[in-house]
Amino acid sequence: APGRDLAGSNSNSLANLGWNKGMHRKSNLHTDYKGKHYEQCGYDTKGKQKPSHSVSVRRPFPLSHGTTTLGFIFQGGVIAAADTRASAGGLVACPAVHKITPIHSHLVVTSSGSGADCMLWERILTREIRLYQLRHKRRLSIRGTAKLLSLMLHPFKGTDVCVALTLCGWDKLIYVCSDGARLQGDIFSVGSGSPYAYGVLDRSLSWSLHKEEAILLAREAVFRATHRDAYSGNNVDLFHVTAEGWRQRQREDLKEEYYRDMEKRGIFNRNITVWSL
């Protein structure tokens, strides 16, 4: 309306819309950087970096994941086994990942947790073990390796880093978690399918198992877990670690184990072709 002053009642409306009296757009860049954006980038409101090793970024939705890995000791060495399914919530992200990684000739590591975190820390561990060997002209022991990994992971306790590694040497089995926990034992199973795998292992595992019996037991434990756990499945990888080094078995499709189990029960026969109209 004529006669109304911009410096009067309309000035408040302009200010609320982000304009000044000269009809120039106000800039909130400085305010944003001192506030929200500083915090998201790991800085406080004064522009100083926060004393944190990892910047946590809120995910737009919860991303659950699962797996089945196991390892146990018997009179013939150590058996390590795992499925090959990588899951992201209800999605099968990859059906053929490698969850057992050789670190050196006498040590393999089973991994569970976030796929990216596990791959990163396995590479870091491999590098540190190699550097130790070059400096000291000898290989770091399994206990020393577990202690080193635990010390490296401990500063990330309370962050979103999710790593659970089982170190399988030829005579030792040590579990290391991303909060720095370090446990030694004769049998470990980690992941969403571990309760089912433990049920099979606790029933049949003994020190006096022969090599083929131990391999069959590990394969059956992974199969039973993947049969009940939706986050595990596809194939089974299996390593046998002895004083001579590790040896990998050929990857096997778990559906073959399923068919063998059904035939054993007399429920299914693959040699019979069923025709349907």
Query: Which residues form the catalytic set?
Result: 67
202: CB partners within 8 A, 6+ apart: none
Query: Residue 163 carries which DSSP code?
Result: E
Helix or strand run (H / E) with residue 128: helix 115-136
Smallest CA-to-CA distance from 268 within 252, 256, 251, 254 is with 256
Helix or strand run (H / E) with residue 15: helix 9-16
* Tokens read off for 54: 């990892």
Torsion of CA 155, 158, 161, 166, to 10 degrees: 80
Query: Cβ distance 235 to 249 under 8 Å?
Result: no
Using alpha carbons, list the distances in angstroms from residue 246 to 57, 71, 249: 39, 13, 10
